[in-house]
Amino acid sequence: MQDAITSIVNKYDLTGKYLDKIAINEISNYFQTGIERIQLTKLINEKTSFFIKEASAQLFSEEPELIRPSGNAYTTRRYAACLRDLEYYLRYATYALIAGNNNILDERVLDGLKDTYNSLCVPIAPTVKGIQLLKEVIINNLQITDLDSKNLICAPFDHMIRSLGENNI
């Protein structure tokens, strides 16, 4: 897993360049937001169960066909798998938040997800909706009004939503 600094340095090293003003500004921003990223991650971690419960309740309320017979969350085992997956996306979103870098989401979550979901016949739209709901529940519950804090929290979720939405799974 790479943090923002490692990603920046690697990018410049590959091209054989010295760090320029853009790179220095990115690194500076990483350090300036460090305490805030840690605090936001702590707040999210303290209420993880609540966020999963709320987002899943909204998801199944909005898409009840998921929990009906032949739905992808029908049976206790499949329902539990959906909750597990939501927790998985939330956990990795906090890793990306703390690292200040969304690359971990590609490495550990998104790469290969298409093949996995295709092989299990899992539709992607409810997954994207669940990730969107997680983001909304967190923002609303933590009452995040500061635009910078909101952007920090939203970035990993938006990255997953964009990546999954671009794939025709």
Is residue 82 marked as binding? yes
Q: How many helices (H) and strands (E) does the chain have?
A: 9, 0
Give residues with Cβ within 8 angstroms of 29, minimum separation 6.
none
Q: What's the DSSP call for residue 64?
A: G
The answer to whether the CB of 105 falls within 8 A of the CB of 96 is yes
The answer to whether the CB of 155 falls within 8 A of the CB of 97 is yes
Is residue 77 marked as binding? yes
Is residue 84 marked as binding? no
Question: Which of 155, 167, 158 is closest to 124 using CA atoms?
Answer: 167
Binding residue positions for (2R,3E)-phycocyanobilin: 72, 77, 82
Annotated binding site: 72, 77, 82
